[in-house]
Structure 1
Amino acid sequence: MTDVNRLLLDVLNELTCYIREEDFAGWDPYDGLNSEVFNVLPFKNNSYYRLVFSQLLKRCPFNLRPFLIIRKERNPKGIALFASGFFNLYKILKKEEYLKEGATLLSWLENMKRTDFSGFGWGYNFPWQSRYHYKPKFYPNAVVTSFVGQSFLDGYNTTENSKYLEIAKKAADFLLNEVMVVDDDSVYFSYSPSDSSQVINVTALVSVFLAHLHYYTQDALLRSVASRGIKFVIKKQNEDGSWYYGTKKYQQWIDNFHTAFNLLSLKQFSQYINDFNFREELKKAYDYYTKTFFMEDGRVKYYNDKLYPIDIHAIATAIITLSKFGDIDLAKRVLNWAIKHMWDKEKKYFYFQKHRLYTIKISYMRWSQAWMFLALTEFLKDLRKCSG
């Protein structure tokens, strides 16, 4: 066993113990509006104060959640990431406990589905306020539903339980009927049923989920819609290979993990559909990504033009993306840096963000632990493939 494998397994085992002890429940950077204190204040329904309160709590280097009475909860997206990670572990280590754990988490997700829309939808376990929209707790959206759908497909791939495939089909029904928007010869997917925003990675994530589902069902409609969604993503690519977060003027930034989502989606789409017509665009995007977002020592930049904050979510998606593209050495450097600087050896969890002068050491279950758990299992799986 190599030193990297040993270190990876040690951290993974300790992280697994931590998330089990917490019952997969925790805080989230965006859970401010779950505060029982905020919700008795007279301005709790004011969109401006909701947004400011949420952002201040997210950026605060100290954990004020116990004082604001924000309780630890399970997050459907986080649970989906954990489930996919446990199915990875079962495939690697062949231990029944991981298979059972993944199945138990999928059962929880099944119970948390929203059925008051077309098909099945899932949302975050907190209300969220953006500049222009407010969504109540568990209001279904395209991103969470796509990740949950992918976790059921991972379960189906591992167990061949047809129930999981049927639930994934219901997730696709939600995406096709509630958030799909036709855009000339392409389509895009809005973030949620009540808006028409064009966030590029949302369309990428939905499209690759539909392509993955098509891989198992051979449904021609899924192939067609997924292909048109990817066409939209390609159409929005900048000349240098990058993507802005969205198409609105206030969304014109370029960051690490949303770029990674686009890259992974394009690569996996081509594999599921057997369509390699955009190799040039994919190569240009990957070259931009690796040249822009990584430091020599393994640090991962958050934005294209700014190093800080170094964010664990960006680190996790970078590890997954690099390993899927076969860039194992760079992925190892990122992982080693993360374990050295973002892993709490005593408390057995990953920190949230490292800023120039301080580190936010709060444990966020979805944002930090779930993403790193998935990243570690994906990287371990890819390392095993490389070693034969």
Structure 2
Amino acid sequence: MVANRRSPAGRQCASPPTDSTAAAGLAALEYAAQREYTGWDYADGMSSRLRQALPFDNRWVNLAFQETIKRSPVNVRPLFLVEQRRNFKGTALFALAHRAFDRTSFETDFEHAREATQLADWLLDNQFPGYSGFCGGHRHENQHLDHRTLPTEPDVVSTAYGVKALLAVAEYDPEYAAVARTAEAFLVKDMHYREVEDGAKIDYYPKDTADHYTLNAGALAARTFVDLYARFGDDPLRERARKLLDYVVARQTDSGGWYYRDPPDASHLSMDTHHNGFVIECLQRYREVTGSQRYDKVLDRAVEFFRNALFESDGAPRFDESAAYPRDVHAAAQGILVFTYAGDLQFARRIIDWTLEHLHAGDGRFYVQKRRFYTKRITLMRWCQAWMAYALAVYCRSAAAGGE
């Protein structure tokens, strides 16, 4: 982070504070701000201009482009002419990071309130039209084995972070909360919220299939209802959150974790780290807002599993309960958030220290993964920069409040 250097937007970049964690988080924000929060994303290979120039459209060719670009040990996106874009969820995370840092005493030249509101305005301008309320999604195509998602299709997860960002920025201007409130209609009507035997379920995206259920997406929908309840106090919001979480909680394994999907064999993913972290964070948020002890035993088991099965003792994140590698920056960020919210700042700090040693370039950039024999030195705007900026900001805010 270099003082007195201006970004293309004319903002003066911040001088480094004394705390190394805050410095890393603010440098990640500076890196993003200088690039107008625009960059490559985790599974953006379908936006390759080479693929788009092909005179035919084929699922297997699409998958070849997407997976080759995603899995390559070096960044081949420039060679494939992959477009750099702002990501909806990434923009929300950057807004949340600015809001969190604005609540700390670290001196920077960032005008965090201005940055956060400008990012929130972008979310409003880029919400997806044609739905019952505020919503958003990935702004690039994504090819799956059985279907393709389009840049015009919203999803529950992206919307959850968009709502969270609008509610945070509403502390500056309450009009943002009024827009966030409309997301309830999107979730209930467009994402087919429905009550079932064990609670309630909700679709992940418009083309979701009844053949499986994505558990962390259901939990994040519940958190959205909780976040809205915290702002507006309407009991139906809390009840919908409870029923969605009841269904997810009923799928907790004996080990304390959750498979990515129900049934488990509907996905190649097992009990991976960052998706389990999502579920835990949503349960933590429900307890924080409602004061309910309903999920206390579930949370205790989940956090124990998260710490012992999905992290090493030195803070290194595992991929899942059976595989250590790849050690992913997103998993590290989610671990920082979970243990910060759990009040275990010591272990959160251990994850931070590991990440700064192994996945930090030292110039504001974070790398995506550490493999067994090499580090994947690719910086992705949402997956790396947004998640780490947000996680470090939340940690700094909590540590400052606790006097550390």
Pairwise TM-score range, normalised by the shorter structure: over 0.9
Per the alignment, in what secondary structure is the counterpart of residue 187 of structure 1?
strand
Aligned to 2:145: 131
Q: Quick one: structure 1 residues 133 and 273, their matched pair in 2 at CA, closer, same or farther if it must change by over 3 Å?
A: farther
Q: Does 1:50 align with 2:67?
A: no
Q: Is the 8 A contact 1:181 1:190 kept in 2?
A: no
Q: Does 1:102 align with 2:116?
A: yes
Q: Which amino acid aligns with 2:214?
A: V
Q: Is the 8 A contact 2:195 2:243 kept in 1?
A: no
Q: Does 1:142 align with 2:175?
A: no
Aligned to 1:165: 177
Per the alignment, in what secondary structure is the counterpart of residue 201 of structure 2?
strand
Q: Does 1:304 align with 2:352?
A: no
Structure 2 CA distance, aligned partners of 1:339 and 1:217?
39
4+ aligned runs moved over 6 Å, structure 1: none
| More helix per residue | 1
7, 11, 19: which is aligned to 1:6?
19
Q: List alignment gaps of at least 5 residues for structure 2.
A: 1-16
Q: Does 1:235 align with 2:250?
A: yes
- The structural deviation recorded for 1:28 is 0.7
Per the alignment, in what secondary structure is the counterpart of residue 182 of structure 1?
strand
Per the alignment, in what secondary structure is the counterpart of residue 329 of structure 1?
helix
Structure 1 CA distance, aligned partners of 2:99 and 2:208?
34
Structure 2 CA distance, aligned partners of 1:234 and 1:13?
36
Structure 1 residues 200-239: aligned runs within 5 Å: 200-239=215-254
Q: Which amino acid aligns with 2:243?
A: R
Task: Provide TM-score, normalisation by structure 1.
Answer: 0.94
Aligned to 2:166: 152
Q: Is the 8 A contact 1:78 1:365 kept in 2?
A: yes
- Identity score, percent: 27
Higher mean alpha-carbon deviation, 213-222 vs 145-154, is at 213-222
- The structural deviation recorded for 1:5 is 6.6
Q: Is the 8 A contact 1:29 1:57 kept in 2?
A: no
Q: List alignment gaps of at least 5 residues for structure 1.
A: none
- The structural deviation recorded for 1:92 is 1.1
- The structural deviation recorded for 1:185 is 4.8
Structure 1 residues 350-361: aligned runs within 5 Å: 350-361=366-377
C-alpha root-mean-square deviation of aligned residues, in Å? 1.7
Per the alignment, in what secondary structure is the counterpart of residue 123 of structure 1?
coil
Per the alignment, in what secondary structure is the counterpart of residue 314 of structure 2?
coil
Q: Is the 8 A contact 1:77 1:147 kept in 2?
A: yes
- The structural deviation recorded for 1:287 is 0.9
- The structural deviation recorded for 1:86 is 0.5
Aligned to 2:46: 33
- The structural deviation recorded for 1:59 is 0.6
In the comparison of the two structures, how many residue pairs are matched? 381
- The structural deviation recorded for 1:115 is 2.2
Structure 1 CA distance, aligned partners of 2:66 and 2:195?
33
Q: Is the 8 A contact 1:5 1:380 kept in 2?
A: no
Q: Which amino acid aligns with 1:267?
A: Q
- The structural deviation recorded for 1:133 is 2.1
Aligned to 2:13: none
Q: Is the 8 A contact 2:310 2:317 kept in 1?
A: yes
Aligned to 2:79: 67
Deviation readout 1:30-83 (Å, 9 max, x if unpaired):
10000110112244x322322232122111012111121112211010000000
Aligned to 2:298: 281
Aligned to 1:319: 336
Q: Which amino acid aligns with 1:353?
A: Q
Task: Provide TM-score, normalisation by structure 2.
Answer: 0.91
- The structural deviation recorded for 1:297 is 2.0
Q: Is the 8 A contact 2:48 2:81 kept in 1?
A: yes
